[in-house]
A and B are shown apart, each in its own frame.
Chain A
């Protein structure tokens, strides 16, 4: 499986990355060299093998559905690039 510049532009959109058109060919080539290496996975016989998502096959721990953390908005909001009236500001979405 290999990427072409058009497919790459679709993937970049999904990842919300802007691609510089001048770099697209070189980037496509590098990503294809990575995908070429990864294609060795097709050699493996994985018939009847269950996927392993977590090394310890652990189960999700549960806790009571109660508030356990204090409101720390005043500590974390100053880290944002733009805020107003306690809200995070972004460019206008609705005209």
Chain B
């Protein structure tokens, strides 16, 4: 089997056994990126020289008996994570010239564990999008069909992992930005509990919702990555003091007695029958392993999209006020005065979707509208969170489809923001409640992957990874790779 068809866990075993070196591994994947990525546009920056230096250091550490958890394993970081000495653009013209002077905690931790960074992946601008079409660096193509989107906002990470240009990547998820692209590209992606992974050095979109997580081809790989990423960080005041579980050790628990909640609201009458039946078939497989299905209600999740599109833009309008053309980032040419410099730098530096969200957020927070929009949205957020709390009194995990549809055609929704926002109808409630959730492939329709979602209670990442791993032991959907790039 070629190296790029192995999972991260298999590559780790291969490195341990001396079947290949970290340098050989890095060179193999860098060659695939060089040959194949021009068709996908999944990378904004490829960091060849640093990657080879890190690979050599990993080989030396191994020879010295000092191999870390991810020693020599190639990964890519979403371009939202600050990486010292490397452009960190966040998919925006605003930061096209920004060379980060420091590493994000996630980057630092993974590097300390021995991971080899091959580059920075493409994304929707400032993580605002569900198709990866809002990037200043152009859209990313889905390797299952290059006329379709990979989802977003972590679309570059998803497409790169699906095309086996890198065995794993980081993503961030504010309203579904790990899970929805994972579903649309047939990979496994996990959004941890809010506060599980440090947000320090991760460019902020909506600070009460943003969370980083792993994207890979299996739940076992995500468990390995999450172990390296997680833990308290004093530099992020929302990072929690909670011990990090041994996620890999939890994978093999039998599912007998597991109670799976099936919310009616995740199977609306309008849902594509084929997606509904794919999801139900996956749950039936878990029933065979001893799980029981429990019908539950989450009555307020129906309002999660409207609540999100007040709260997220409000927080974004505040977070993005730092981009003013003074200390870093884009500045317009020949400003007339200070006001003109702020306004033109921001208008030329931000793309259309980012500006729309800043305007919606500013409006929702402005005098006379704060109570009607922002405060009301926060109250609805409480109702949604209470729905999940009640459900978790009866069940261990909650399951449903990740996305109401499969990968859609490039350009199909780019003129209609509200239709685009509905792509995240099943993922957003989880961010509002701050819960952990995973998406994994569970079927194919018309040659395109379908993802299902497993939602857990707070800090039960180990349990949802266990459920996903047991499903992946009994099925092979996660092993299916696109024909794209197989001849390379």
Contact = CB atoms under 8 A, between A and B. Distances in A.
Nearest to A74: B101
B306 A37 contact: yes
Interface string B408-423: 0000000011100100
Contacts of A80: 326-328
B30 interface: no
A38 B304 CA distance: 10
A41 to B, nearest CB: 5
A11 B363 contact: yes
A81 B303 contact: no
Contact of A75 (B101, B237, B344): B101
Given A11-B359, A15-B359, A56 B240 contact: yes
Contact of B355 (A17, A56, A90): A17
A58 B338 contact: no
A76 B326 CA distance: 12
Nearest to A38: B306
Contacts of B337: 91-93
A72 B100 CA distance: 13
Interface stretch (B110-118, B138-146, B381-389): B381-389
Interface string A71-89: 0100110011110000010
A95 B336 CA distance: 13
Interface string B351-380: 000011011101110100100110111111
A76 B309 CA distance: 34
Nearest to A13: B343
> Interface size for chain B: under 10, 10 to 19, 20 to 34, or 35 or more residues?
35 or more
Interface residues of A, number: 51
Contact of B194 (A49, A55, A90): A55
A18 B327 contact: no
B433 interface: yes
Interface string B324-348: 1111100100011111111110110
Given A30-B356, A88-B326, A50 B379 contact: yes
B227 interface: no
Interface string A38-63: 11111110100111111110101101
A49 B379 contact: yes
B359 A8 contact: yes
Contacts of A3: 363
Given A16-B342, A51-B378, A79 B208 contact: no
A1 interface: yes
Interface of A: 1, 3, 8, 11-12, 14-19, 27, 30-31, 33-44, 46, 49-56, 58, 60-61, 63, 72, 75-76, 79-82, 88, 90-93
Given A41-B306, A80-B326, 7 more contacts: A12-B359, A16-B324, A31-B360, A49-B382, A50-B379, A55-B435, A76-B328
26 contacts: A11-B362, A11-B366, A12-B359, A17-B350, A18-B347, A33-B418, A34-B417, A34-B418, A37-B305, A38-B360, A38-B377, A44-B380, A44-B383, A46-B376, A46-B379, A51-B381, A52-B379, A52-B385, A54-B238, A56-B195, A56-B240, A56-B434, A61-B237, A79-B99, A81-B331, A88-B326
